[in-house]
Structure 1
Amino acid sequence: MLAVKVITVSDGVVAGTRQDRSGAALADRLSAMGYHIQDRLVVEDGVDSVVRALRGAVEGFAGLVVTTGGTGFGPRDLTPEGTRIVVERLAPGLAEQMRAASPLGGLSRGIAGTVGRCLVVNVPGSPRGAVESIDAIAGVLEHALELLTGADTEHPASSR
């Protein structure tokens, strides 16, 4: 079973003035897809907090790390900037697929990339946007993670 860590990036959730609805929605959706939720974290907005959380999440871990929140145009929406510091290789195709899945996707600045044996993806902070984004890449997630974690895998059959 492939493992996932979900990191919610939100000043409001950290302060207790908002519920972590997007983190909960992601955990529910990923569990329903057969993934094991290994950890859920909540951190404040900002580059440094995202860098610290991601570095901690990927250390000694092989699997998927999903951040939710901080991908928009707000002044504290700096999740992609923090993620860019941590990832070693960008995976722009995944970010493009996620943006294309929603009419509001063009407002997301989220990125995707790899670090070590982890795939890191940024999704929006709304429950609907977060789940739509994961659903958009669901068809390739397992294969990507198998490649990263060194599992024996064959390329999935093309539907063309």
Structure 2
Amino acid sequence: MLQPFEKFKTGYVSRLIELDKLYLVTQTYNRAGGTGIGNKIPLILSDYDDLGLAKIHYKAVLNDKYSAIIHLARPAHKEKLVYMTGPDSPYEMYWAVVKSKIQLEQQVNKKYKDKMRAYITENTTWRLEKDSGIRPSVQLIFGELFIVIKHGKQVVRVKFEELEK
């Protein structure tokens, strides 16, 4: 299972504050798949500079028992996040950012090309020639990784986990 996101480090907290990204939404991170140390619970953080957008994300994952909004301007929230990233925390924290979107897209195209073609064949009316290209790109929506596949002027968005099956 591809795990593209950065592990969240305590040092990122001050950088997020500098960037005015004061709102973080937490949720269970199923893509961590076995990268956890011991029995740590994998969580992913999505950052926002707008509380309204953070609330929309939070409402979308409300059924997740680990969903929350962390407000970095509140000392108690900031302290809790620092604890959550520490070695004694029961959590393994990831941040919904990638080092290189281009590199990730190239990796997806190389490793999942056949699965993308199979998905297109089974779920669209597109007629692909054997040598015709598809242009995948990566999107993150509410902490979920999506692949956007373009062919000509047509576009389809697929949850990445659908391609991994």
TM-score by length of 1: 0.26
TM-score by length of 2: 0.26
Higher helix share: 1
Rg comparison, structure with higher value? 2
Higher strand share: 2
